[in-house]
Amino acid sequence: MKKSKEIIKSLLASVGITINGNNPYDLQIHNADFYSRILRQGSLGLGESYMDGWWDCERLDQFFDKVLGADIDSRVRYNWNVISEFVWNSILNAGRKSKSFEIGKRHYDIGNDLYRTMLDKRLTYTCGYWGGNPPAGGLDDAQEAKLGLVCRKIGLKRGQKILDIGSGWGSFIGYVAEKYGVSALGITVSKEQKELADTLYKNLSAETRLQDYRDINEKFNHVVSLGMFEHVGYKNYRTFMKVVHNVLKDDGLFLLQTIGVNRSVRGTDPWIEKYIFPNSMLPSIRQISKAIEGLFVMEDWHNFGADYDKTLMAWHKNFEDNWDSIKSNYDERFYRMWRYYLLACAGSFRARKNQLWQIVLSKKGVPGGYILIR
């Protein structure tokens, strides 16, 4: 145990983090077994020990920014949990059709009360756009700006028909039906999302279906997918792109918004896999490029990953500010889990380990060239 403690203390000290120190990013250790657990279990042990109350940190976001920015995680990465996750995803297909509704049940169906207190007024569970002109003044503004940006990038026009793959609670389809007068179809794998979206947009031409993306067989002027591609899995990236290609009209545009990583992976963080996003995986530029080759022309690739840090911190503030109103439906372990999730992710974007891409694709190339929109 003493050796484990010295190893962890040394690793953290190399980036200015002190065990039981006075800085907001320093760890306060409550259980002496913390050190050996981290060396033995890596990321999974770090997250679970926090959920168990073994340690605390005033500013988890700053802690993860420092740790991830210095690649400390790579020095304790290769433990059995990570290796087994890699093997599991290599042998099996975590994003296969039979598993597609699992993420809905385990993440998006955990309680609309949680998401209504945490998200913006439209319930947009993807990165906001904070750097517009003028810059967003808050979460509602950032999400409204993002939805508007998507519409401008695809050149949406009144009377068109649009598909949103992974439409959530209907924020985008509701927005375009209201602002542009288009016919919008959204698909989701969450029953809770569909039920609320149906209620919210019952008076608009915005339909939500409980459906797997592989079952779409209609034609659309444009297709968007905002924050769903992370659930597809690398074995299905090509299939996903073929589906979009088949349902998109020849002169239409496809806008893909996805979190991305700096190098190709075949699995995800074991703590995230177990507690937050089962069967998830973040794509790389290489993996996306391979999936679209021969199907699409890449017209624009826009990275505003730093805006996800701001979005996650806004979600965290809303979660903390409103916890008392919903805590009777959850427990203290859930509270610590959710706080850890939001702030760890914020730190990963701040350290630029994760990116946020909006990619505009056409089937044959935009005649005369695509005009970049920011």
Tens of pLDDT, residue by residue over 318-333, are 999 999 999 999 999 9
d(CA 193, CA 112): 8
Report the pLDDT value the prediction gives residue 110, as an integer from 0 to 100. Answer: 81
| Residue 139 DSSP SS3 | helix
Arithmetic mean of pLDDT over the chain: 92
Phi, psi of 262 (to 5 degrees): -80, -15
Strands (E), 150-219: 161-165, 183-188, 206-210
CATH architecture assignment, domain 96-362: 3-Layer(aba) Sandwich (3.40)
pLDDT for residue 101 is more than 90 = no
Secondary element (H or E) of residue 362: strand 354-362
Directed axis angle between helix 34-51 and helix 332-350, to 10°?
A: 110
- Structure tokens belonging to residue 93: 């297909």
* Beta-bridge partners for 253: 222, 362
Is residue 345 flagged as an active site residue?
yes
For 148-180, b/e burial (b = at least 16 CB within 10 A) is bbbbebbbbeeebbbbbbbbbbbbbbbbbbeeb
Mean pLDDT, to the nearest integer, of 142-149? 98
* pTM across the whole model: 0.92
How many Cβ atoms are within 10 Å of 30's Cβ, its own excluded? 13
pLDDT at 52 over 80: yes
DSSP code at position 284: B
Apex 267 CA angle, 263 and 273, nearest 5: 125
From 57, 127, 151, 345, active-site residue: 345
Sign of the C-alpha dihedral computed for residues 147, 288, 106 and 342 taken in this order = negative
Token pair in block for residue 36: 């050996």
Task: State the Cα–Cα distance between residues 135 and 145, nearest whole angstrom.
Answer: 9
Convert 5-52 into a string of H (helix), E (strand) and C (coil).
HHHHHHHHHCCCCCCCCCCCCCCEECCCCHHHHHHHHHHHHHHHHHHC
Q: Which two tokens stand for residue 340?
A: 């850890």
- The predicted-structure confidence for 158-213, as pLDDT tens digits, reads as follows 999 999 999 999 999 999 999 999 999 999 999 999 999 999 999 999 999 999 99
| Mean per-residue pLDDT, 17-42 | 96
Read off the pLDDT band of 46 (50, 70, 90).
very high
Considering only CA atoms, give the Rg of the chain.
21
Tell me which of 52-56, 75-79, 220-224, 276-280 is least confident. 75-79
Kindly tell me if the per-residue pLDDT of 60 is higher than 90: yes
What per-residue string of b and e applies to 85-116 under the rule 16 or more CB within 10 Å gives b? bbeebeeeebbeeebbbebbebbbbbebebbe
Residue written as tokens 């500010």? 321
Q: Buried (b) or exposed (e) across 299-310, using 16+ Cβ within 10 A?
A: bbebebbebbbb
- What's the rounded mean pLDDT across residues 338-357? 98
Tell whether the model's pLDDT for residue 274 goes beyond 50: yes
Instruction: Say yes or no to pLDDT of 141 above 90.
Output: yes
Q: Over range 288-294, report the average pLDDT.
A: 98
pLDDT value at 146 more than 70: yes
At residue 30, the pLDDT reads 98
109 — pLDDT class (breaks 50, 70, 90): confident
Residue-level pLDDT at 104: 66
- CA 84 distance to own-chain centroid: 23
Confidence tier at 72 by pLDDT (50, 70, 90)? confident
The token pair at 15 is 């980036």
pLDDT for 111: 83
Is 93's pLDDT higher than 60? no
Which tokens is 81 given?
A: 């949990």
Q: How many other CB atoms are there within 10 angstroms of residue 266's CB atom? A: 16
